[in-house]
Chains A and B, each alone.
Chain A
Amino acid sequence: MASEIGATDAASSEPQARHVIYCGVCSLPPEYCEFGGTAKKCKDWLEKNHPDLHEKLYSEEAVAATLSTLSLEAQKRAAKDSQKKEAKAAAAEAKAAETKAQAQILIKRVERNKRKYVTAVSGLEAHGMDLKKVAKEWGKKFATGSSVTKTASGGEEVVVQGDNSDEIFDWVVDVAGVPEANVDCIEDKKKKGA
């Protein structure tokens, strides 16, 4: 760590705020992770990221000390409660994974005028992507207009100016890590003279 000697003026005093570590999984101070539904994941995260704090909270003595303050009856109830919470969290996670596995991303090339295209991409949100951020990134990457647009069905999609279907397909698969089977490319041709 860097030395504590400040090179700047001494007029501004040292910050007094305590710096508290928060769990990267459930966002609470790690000593409260046991009350959430993700206790196991939280523990693993802490061991990896703050081993000293992990040692302090999960050592045998620490666990024994906290348990001794509860009556046997209360311990049982608390254990049952946290089991329930964990089962609930696991079920929710499994369900989320399943919907994600089935969620299809649709890359649609739409002909606007003769030889002018836009590319409309829907279904990104089901794969955990933030549409606004994606639109911004594509705008930069393809040096073109790119925005989030409401669809007729009430959802939202990212619309990119120009035909960028192939590049977008590659990005979705390579950068965002979506399985190829979950991405469709289609063409939406306007009927002539329509």
Chain B
Amino acid sequence: MFKKDITPGAKSKVKSSVQRAIRTKITETYPLLAPHIDEIIPKKSQLDSLKLPDRVTLYALDSHPLFYQHMDDPITPHLRTVHQFPAAFPRIRIDRGAIRFVLSGATLMAPGLTSAGGRLPSGTNATTDKDDGEEEGEEEKRYGGRDLEEGEVVVVEAEGKEEACMIGQLRVGTREIKEKKKGVVIDAGHYLGDGLWRIELD
């Protein structure tokens, strides 16, 4: 969605009532982010909204992009926001071989996730905050037990890397990815180095 360089459109101040609604929308979409919402968008701060191409709205604070939203799709964090609070979002992982394709704006395909280096939620429905299974590995926790649904926003991490490289909406649920092992997974994500990553708001 942001393959090209972006020149942001007019900037306008977000009304305080709208800003409250945005905060609520964010914490509803990402419940694990709720404890941090005051740190990300302080109560007395002034959010700006900017029109980007393709009917995307960007929300920024002091010229730092925080979240964006494409039409009625879920509000989605900018990757820098993800890097600040990575554990607040559902995550999957691609193998090392898929990284360079993702970073050049390619569609994310299932094999990059179902190969040995990829990770998907286990699907055992184990909730991540119950830790009766002490043996549950670090990775198991990281990628969770709940299968993710089509349409959910998911953070894409990469084998051997600490930081996430992409975020976007799943085109298929993770159970189907595991079953079919092929097809499109995310086709219009925001990735490291894309136009949204490099956008300058000053």
Stretch at the interface among A11-19, A88-96, A113-121, A145-153: A11-19
CA distance A50 to B149 in the complex (A): 40
Q: How far is the CB of A107 from chain B (nearest CB, A)?
A: 28
Is there a chain B Cβ closer than 8 Å to A3's Cβ?
A: no
Contact in complex: A29, B84 (CB < 8 Å): no
Contact present for A29 and B162 (CB under 8 Å): yes
Query: Which of chain A's residues have a CB closer than 8 A to the CB of B36?
Result: 16-17
A18 to B164, CA, bound (A): 13
A108 to B193, CA, bound (A): 40
Report yes or no: B85 in contact with A70, Cβ–Cβ below 8 A: no
Residues in B with CB closer than 8 Å to A31 are 160-163
Question: Closest residue to B87 on the A side, CB-wise?
Answer: A18
Any B CB within 8 A of the CB of A8: no
B163 engages A35 (CB within 8 Å): no
Looking across the interface, which residue of chain B has its beta carbon closest to that of A28? B192
Could you name 17 residue pairs across A and B whose Cβ atoms are closer than 8 Å? A16-B39, A17-B36, A18-B85, A29-B161, A31-B160, A31-B161, A32-B99, A32-B103, A32-B161, A32-B192, A35-B100, A36-B103, A66-B160, A69-B95, A69-B159, A70-B97, A78-B97
Shortest Cβ distance from B96 into A: residue: A69
Q: Which residue of B lies closest to A17 (CB)?
A: B84
On chain B, which size bracket covers the interface? 20 to 34
Contacts beyond the supplied A28-B193, A78-B100: 14 A-B pairs with Cβ under 8 Å = A16-B36, A17-B36, A17-B85, A18-B83, A20-B83, A20-B84, A27-B197, A28-B197, A29-B161, A36-B103, A36-B193, A65-B160, A69-B95, A81-B100
Which residues of chain B from 147 to 202 have a CB within 8 Å of any chain A CB?
159-163, 165, 192-193, 197-198
Asked whether B193 lies within 8 Å of A74 as measured between CB atoms, the reply is: no
User: Assuming the A-B contacts A27-B193, A29-B192, are A69 and B117 also in contact, with contact meaning beta carbons closer than 8 angstroms in the complex?
Assistant: yes
Which residues of the other chain, A, contact B39 by a CB distance below 8 angstroms? Answer: 15-17
Contacts of A15 in B (CB 8 A): 39
Interface range, A side: 20 to 34
CB within 8 Å of A: which residues of B? Answer: 35-36, 39-40, 80, 83-86, 95-97, 99-100, 103, 117, 159-163, 165, 192-193, 197-198
Asked whether A32 lies within 8 Å of B198 as measured between CB atoms, the reply is no
| A74:B97 contact, CB within 8 angstroms | yes
Q: Does A172 contact B (CB under 8 A)?
A: no
